[in-house]
Amino acid sequence: MNLHQQVVEAFQQHFGGEPDIVVRAPGRVNLIGEHTDYNGGFVMPMAINRAMFMAIRYRGDSEVHLLSADFGHGARFDLQEFEYQKPHWCEYIKGVANGLKQRNLPLKGFDAAMLGNVPRGSGLSSSAALELAAAKAFSEVSNFPWDPVEMAVVGQEAENNWVGVNCGIMDQMISSCAQAGHAYLLDCRSLEGEHVPLPEGVKVVILDTATRRGLVDSAYNERRSQCEEAAAFFGCELLRDVEIDTFMAREDELPDLTRKRARHVITEDVRTLAAAEAMKTGDSKKLGALMDESHVSLRDDFEVSNDALNTMVETAQAQPGCLGARMTGAGFGGCAVALVEDAHVDAFVEQVPTAYQQKTDLEPAVYVTEATQGACRYHA
Ligand code: GLA
């Protein structure tokens, strides 16, 4: 049974009767452009073939009745009046509802069963998938037009202000705006994006190190302040606005740590734009080389990798047919991403986990993914 069938069945069992619609919102993997989003820079994520599904039936009132089939329990709230209660999956839905209410969108209630297969806490944005599925559900049920960029912002606000996790805009934007078969080159300052086709003959492989970072990450916030400090030194609000030549001319004046942090962000923006160009010309070798460089920069300058991620990346890079690999997402654990030639994928997914496990004693997970569509109504 696929996830769509399972979520419909969970709905039938819990609520009785049939859902009216099913919506789907994907998790993501970032190909390149890491720790650049909150600097107003460039990112290039893609939506993966793992997602949050919601089977929904319209109600005539203002109540939202939910079943999380993942957690095996329900929750409910009234759209007319609700408040933050305690850390709970339902708060993501309430946070989205709150953002929509603030925009004066008329909200209607619904019953919904939810089921997802984006692994939680692994850095593949299961929470953005949940937020965008909720936004899509409200848009369908309440019949307001779907504005993907605005809905991504609603998702980010839910995460920042309601749930209390500081994140940039990348995860929500890709879960909302993605196009199948494409990565998304996003300018995180203007929120303008470009769908860039994935090169032929290669697969994107996600390698979960089985190490985890804490949810509310002080190191993430620390990196953000260091970036702000560096931008202020150059008289800019965002590091995105510091040209690489300007940086190079004055980098010696910066304290060592600030200089390294800034160098990562500024060079990563350059690499991300170059990676998009490489993809457009079908140059997957160049794309892979840029991913390798990104990893070195994240490891040495931004210092957000860990031993497990470094081992995973090196193990992947040593395999035949691997064009490039890097840590992906916030870092300090979670996943790496590799670009692998089609002909070598089978051997790659067999050998990398074994070699990794031998070196680390950790049991990794491997997902070969295609690029899928952003939040949408799902037709079986
Ligand atoms: C996390 C955040 C994103 C982004 C990445 C790092 O995934 O949610 O907004 O900052 O880290 O690139």
Whether residue 132 is contained in a domain is answered as yes
Residues with Cβ within 8 Å of residue 30, at least 6 apart in sequence: 43, 44, 45, 170, 328, 329, 337
The token pair at 76 is 């409910």
237 and 118 inside one domain:
no
250 and 315 inside one domain:
yes
Does residue 28 register a pLDDT over 80? yes
Respond yes or no: is residue 208 known to be catalytic.
Answer: no
35 and 147 inside one domain:
yes
Q: What is the dihedral of CA 36, 26, 335, 353, to 10 degrees?
A: -150
172 and 214 inside one domain:
no
Which of the listed residues 147, 170, 197 is the one where a domain comes to its end? Answer: 197
Residues with Cβ within 8 Å of residue 234, at least 6 apart in sequence: 241, 242, 246, 247, 250
User: pTM to 2 decimals?
Assistant: 0.97
248 and 190 inside one domain:
no
Report the chain's mean pLDDT, rounded to a whole number: 97
160 and 262 inside one domain:
no
| pLDDT tens digits, one per residue of 312-360 | 999 999 999 999 999 999 999 999 999 999 999 999 999 999 999 999 9
Whether residue 245 is contained in a domain is answered as yes
150 and 24 inside one domain:
yes
Whether residue 379 is contained in a domain is answered as no
Does residue 121 register a pLDDT over 70? yes
Number of structural domains the chain divides into:
2
Q: Is 330 helix (H, G, I), strand (E, B) or coil?
A: coil
Ligand 1, from 28, 29, 31, 35: best to mutate by most atoms within 8 Å of Cβ?
A: 35
pLDDT band, very low/low/confident/very high, at 217 (cuts 50, 70, 90)? confident
* Residues of the domain holding 191: 3-197
Residue 361 CA to ligand 1 center (angstroms) comes to: 28
337 and 216 inside one domain:
yes
| pLDDT tens digits, one per residue of 239-272 | 999 999 999 999 999 999 999 999 999 999 999 9
Does residue 214 register a pLDDT over 70? no
* Ligand 1 pocket, residues with Cβ under 6 angstroms: 34-35, 37-38, 167-168, 170-171, 329-330
Answer whether 185's CB lies under 8 Å from 44's CB. yes
Does residue 185 register a pLDDT over 80? yes
Which of the listed residues 171, 197, 223 is the one where a domain comes to its end? Answer: 197
36 and 158 inside one domain:
yes
| pLDDT tens digits, one per residue of 137-173 | 999 999 999 999 999 999 999 999 999 999 999 999 9
Whether residue 329 is contained in a domain is answered as yes
- 189: CATH: 3.30.230.10
Calpha distance 166→90 (Å, rounded): 18
Calpha distance 10→67 (Å, rounded): 8
Average pLDDT over residues 171-190: 98
Does residue 215 register a pLDDT over 70? no
Percentage of the chain beyond pLDDT 90 is: 97
Calpha distance 380→370 (Å, rounded): 18
- 234: CATH: 3.30.70.890
Per-residue pLDDT at 1? 85
Calpha distance 309→332 (Å, rounded): 8
72 and 186 inside one domain:
yes
Which of the listed residues 197, 219, 236 is the one where a domain comes to its end? Answer: 197
| pLDDT tens digits, one per residue of 80-114 | 999 999 999 999 999 999 999 999 999 999 999 99
